[in-house]
Structure 1
Amino acid sequence: MIVNISRRAHDHNWELDPITRSLLDTDFYKLLMLQFIWKHFPRTRASFALQNRTTTVRLGDIIVLDELREQLENTRKLRFHKSELIWLAGNSFYGKRGIFESEFLEWLDKDFRLSDYELSVQDGQISLRFDGLWTETTLWEIYALSTIDELKTRAAMKKLSEFDLDILYARAKTRLWEKMERLRGVPSLRLSDFGTRRRHSYLWHEYVVIAMRDVLGSNFTGSSNTYLAYNHDLEAIGTNAHELPMALAALAGTDDDLRTAQYRLLDLWQRTYQGELMILLPDTFGTTQFLRNAPDWVADWTGQRIDSKDPFVAGDEYIAWLEQRNRDPRRKRLIASDALDVDKILELHAYFSGRIRFSAGWGTLLTNDFRNCDPQGGDGFDPISLVCKLVEVDGRQAVKLSDNYRKAMGPPEEVERYRRVFGLEGIADIPVEA
């Protein structure tokens, strides 16, 4: 595969080129969660809002609001293609066919729509909010993030000549190759692409995924991006995310109901998917309290994804918990997915080898590592920590505590209430990385 990525970037008509080319251009877990929401919460309303945690980068001064609005309007007009729905219906995911119900696919075909949105600039930052039925708002998360990240990239590109672009991509390709060279052939290493939400651009994302497939072979297990999996015959990777326990917690009536909402969600999820797709994501309100209070049947789930905790600490904690519950950790899966790069991936793989089946979901520094690649010496291509999170469910405020004290989201008074209910055991206070 030889792709002149800089020529393609240079020749693109940025004013007309859509960033979101398909509704499949989202993380696979969003589609699984959408089916879950459609099935159990079809009339529930939900709101999502954008937050730039890299506050030193004033996105409102970088991105032209009309260009963002044009991209969002293009996305809102998209519909699922028949060929895409046939692929979802007939393809095997995690070794099983029929994960998507025929009634759900028919709804996607005939009735699915994205909600409207509110867009403005406030204090130099983009203010973007989506309100509507939960089924209409949930998919906006990834579309909004990848769109804004790419518009940020395009704004930086406007300052470069064609020769500058050649240098930019030559440096980025060299860095990608150096990373892949260190990873290929490592025994039992499992890597997947988790980089949609903070990618440099769609074209670069596709280039990286194809390169990973071709260079790493069986070490590369697939992509969380459903559109790239669809187009390039890859495994679509993903199960669920923080949004679901956040929503059930927001709907809880009492503190006791709040405390147990995270487990009610797991029970409903495993019944919905007949015991498939059972990867825990326990850090929504703190991993330590989650494991300590979990019913015994939770230990029968397939594995755990680590998001906001030191993965060495979180992995040891999970292994110890499994052993206390008389489960063999060597039969379970441990997935690290936060702020990963080559050094940490290799260290984690070596550390957990023979103890648990480790794999890495590689995100930002796979699909958007252009640090120090700009030939003009700027930092406009550096990735930022941009999120679009659930903020309200049926008029009730949503909260995420996280294993990192600084990543907590929600109104301050609600965050403090959640901290009283769930406690702070095992929660660290560390800088937030992109």
Structure 2
Amino acid sequence: MDIATRVYNHKWKIDPIIRSLIDTDFYKLLMCQSVFRNKPETEVTFSLINRSTTVPLANLIDEGELREQLDHIRSLSLSRGESTWLRGNTFYGKRQMFRPDFMEWFENLRLPAYHLERIGDQYELTFEGKWHEVMLWEISALAVLMELRSRAVLNDMGRFELQVLYARAMTRVWEKIEQLRDIDGLSIADFGTRRRHGFLWQDWCVQAMREGLGSKFTGTSNCLIAMRREVEAIGTNAHELPMVYSALAADDTALAQAPYEVLSDWHDEHEGNLRIILPDTYGTQGFLDHAPDWLAGWTGIRIDSGDPAAGAEVAIKWWQERGEDPQNKRVIFSDGLDVAKIAELQGQFAARTKVSFGWGTLLTNDFRGLVPDDRLAPFSLVCKAISANGKPTVKLSDNPEKAMGPRSEITRYKRVFGVGDQEPIEVVV
């Protein structure tokens, strides 16, 4: 594919940013089914949060164009081929991963309305409604804003300038792949949908990883690309589940148990490599200290904030204390990764546990230094559930720079979950 020419000629009606309701991460569909089954009446509000306030999205992105893209997403529904793939494909060794009642609902879904307002040089974008309906806006909204920002920067470039830009970006990705190729025992997947440079670019990166890494490349989080390219769809669960379950808790006692209630529901639905713990929503150490014994039997842990090596050490120690062999467990690293950190973590832990990597933004959006003033550098944009049934959600994380929620509730959650002083770590992407 000549991406430069496609970008030069693109019109949104020809190249809409979101092409399908399954142009989303696999874990969103798994979580959506879980919410559909366990919390179907929960009302949730999602909101866009630009952590990189120096990137003035409302100055870069035309509001009319943004509305056109969002309205286009609301017109989408599953195609027959997409439905057949979800109903009949084998995911994580399991056929019929998605239940018939969920699929019947999903096949008739149109995403609910959104609220968009310009506030200064940023956009306020929110989604309200039943949790299992509005949650599917998250990845689409992020991908739209990231790609519209990319298009705004590329808009004034000529055909040859674009060809040179993409040639340099492709060379950068391929050089990374060549370095990764030399890492023994590597297991790595694409986790780059939410903050990608664009759909075409993510698709190209997946094809490059597949050719360059062979069996070391285990798949992509993006369902549409997984289906089209016939690679594995990869993903488990995210912070959204414990954040909403915790907001629904009636008192401090119920709050302390909410993160484990999430995984109890997940345990009932999934097995094997889908039983991956994400422990850092309210602090990894406290979560593991109070975890029920049955969780130690799960397949592994995903490390998504704080110092990744420290998080892995905590997990290994916890397994040992619970009588589990860490060499039979999997540690998935997924926060702010690039080649040097991947190589370092693989070398540090490969002999002690099974190591995997979910490589995100610096795979699918590393255009750092390729245009003047670094206007294509990736930035930190999230879309989070901010309330559930009218009560605010909270995320603490192992990195206080990623904490979110009302100050009073953050203080309460720190007390309930025993979170003390934390070391701030710069949020890169």
Q: TM-score range by the shorter chain?
A: over 0.9
Kindly indicate whether residue 169 of structure 2 is the aligned counterpart of residue 172 of structure 1. yes
Please report how far the alpha carbon of residue 426 of structure 1 lies from its aligned counterpart in structure 2 after TM superposition: 7.0
- The aligned residue for residue 263 of structure 2 is 266
Q: Give SS of 2:189's match.
A: strand
One-letter identity of the residue aligned with 1:76: R
Q: State how far apart, in whole Å, the 1-side matches of 2:131 and 2:78 are.
A: 18
Kindly indicate whether residue 416 of structure 2 is the aligned counterpart of residue 421 of structure 1. yes
Contact 1:46 1:132 in 2 (8 A): yes
Kindly indicate whether residue 331 of structure 2 is the aligned counterpart of residue 331 of structure 1. no
Q: Give SS of 1:120's match.
A: strand
Please report how far the alpha carbon of residue 428 of structure 1 lies from its aligned counterpart in structure 2 after TM superposition: 2.2
- The aligned residue for residue 9 of structure 1 is 7
Deviations 1:42-94 (A, max 9, x none): 11111100000001111111000111111000001100111111111111111
Q: State how far apart, in whole Å, the 2-side matches of 1:270 and 1:71 are.
A: 37
Q: Give SS of 2:274's match.
A: coil
Q: State how far apart, in whole Å, the 2-side matches of 1:324 and 1:351 are.
A: 21
Q: State how far apart, in whole Å, the 2-side matches of 1:406 and 1:75 are.
A: 32
- The aligned residue for residue 243 of structure 2 is 246
Unmatched segments (≥5 aa) in structure 1: none
Q: Give SS of 2:192's match.
A: coil
How many aligned positions are there?
A: 429
One-letter identity of the residue aligned with 1:224: S
Kindly indicate whether residue 229 of structure 2 is the aligned counterpart of residue 235 of structure 1. no
Q: State how far apart, in whole Å, the 2-side matches of 1:306 and 1:92 are.
A: 26
Unmatched segments (≥5 aa) in structure 2: none
Please report how far the alpha carbon of residue 15 of structure 1 lies from its aligned counterpart in structure 2 after TM superposition: 6.3
Please report how far the alpha carbon of residue 421 of structure 1 lies from its aligned counterpart in structure 2 after TM superposition: 1.1
Q: State how far apart, in whole Å, the 1-side matches of 2:420 and 2:360 are.
A: 28
Q: State how far apart, in whole Å, the 1-side matches of 2:364 and 2:58 are.
A: 23
| Matched ranges for 1:123-162 at <5 A | 123-162=120-159
- The aligned residue for residue 64 of structure 2 is 66
Distance 1:178 1:426, change over 3 A: farther
Please report how far the alpha carbon of residue 99 of structure 1 lies from its aligned counterpart in structure 2 after TM superposition: 1.2
One-letter identity of the residue aligned with 2:123: I
| Aligned with residue 393 of structure 2, among 378, 398, 415 | 398
- The aligned residue for residue 197 of structure 2 is 200
Please report how far the alpha carbon of residue 423 of structure 1 lies from its aligned counterpart in structure 2 after TM superposition: 2.4
Deviations 1:207-244 (A, max 9, x none): 01011001110010000001100100010000110000
Please report how far the alpha carbon of residue 14 of structure 1 lies from its aligned counterpart in structure 2 after TM superposition: 4.0
Distance 1:383 1:199, change over 3 A: same
Q: Give SS of 1:47's match.
A: strand
Contact 2:143 2:196 in 1 (8 A): yes
Q: Give SS of 2:288's match.
A: helix
Q: Give SS of 1:361's match.
A: strand
Contact 1:286 1:426 in 2 (8 A): no
- The aligned residue for residue 405 of structure 2 is 410
Contact 2:272 2:299 in 1 (8 A): no
Which piece of structure 1 moves more, 25-34 or 119-128?
Answer: 119-128
Please report how far the alpha carbon of residue 16 of structure 1 lies from its aligned counterpart in structure 2 after TM superposition: 5.2
| Aligned with residue 50 of structure 1, among 44, 48, 72 | 48
Q: State how far apart, in whole Å, the 2-side matches of 1:283 and 1:276 are.
A: 19
Task: State the Cα RMSD in Å.
Answer: 1.2
One-letter identity of the residue aligned with 1:201: G
TM-score normalised by the chain length of structure 1: 0.97
Q: State how far apart, in whole Å, the 2-side matches of 1:417 and 1:177 are.
A: 47
Contact 2:238 2:278 in 1 (8 A): yes
One-letter identity of the residue aligned with 2:382: V
Q: State how far apart, in whole Å, the 1-side matches of 2:156 and 2:13 are.
A: 15
| Matched ranges for 1:14-413 at <5 A | 14=12, 17-110=15-108, 112-273=109-270, 277-374=274-371, 377-413=372-408
Please report how far the alpha carbon of residue 160 of structure 1 lies from its aligned counterpart in structure 2 after TM superposition: 1.1
- The aligned residue for residue 431 of structure 1 is 426
Distance 1:69 1:33, change over 3 A: same
Contact 2:23 2:222 in 1 (8 A): yes
Q: State how far apart, in whole Å, the 1-side matches of 2:144 and 2:121 are.
A: 18
TM-score normalised by the chain length of structure 2: 0.98
Contact 1:15 1:67 in 2 (8 A): no
One-letter identity of the residue aligned with 2:259: Q
Runs of 4+ in 1 over 4 A off after TM superposition: none
Contact 2:414 2:420 in 1 (8 A): no
Q: Give SS of 1:206's match.
A: helix
Contact 1:89 1:105 in 2 (8 A): yes
Deviations 1:141-169 (A, max 9, x none): 00000000000000001121112111211
Contact 2:306 2:425 in 1 (8 A): no
Distance 1:260 1:416, change over 3 A: same
Q: State how far apart, in whole Å, the 2-side matches of 1:295 and 1:397 are.
A: 26
Q: State how far apart, in whole Å, the 2-side matches of 1:349 and 1:284 are.
A: 24
Deviations 1:358-384 (A, max 9, x none): 01100000000000112xx23221111
Please report how far the alpha carbon of residue 274 of structure 1 lies from its aligned counterpart in structure 2 after TM superposition: 5.2
One-letter identity of the residue aligned with 2:310: V
Deviations 1:162-209 (A, max 9, x none): 121112111101111110011114321001000000000001110010
Please report how far the alpha carbon of residue 8 of structure 1 lies from its aligned counterpart in structure 2 after TM superposition: 1.6
Q: State how far apart, in whole Å, the 2-side matches of 1:85 and 1:140 are.
A: 19
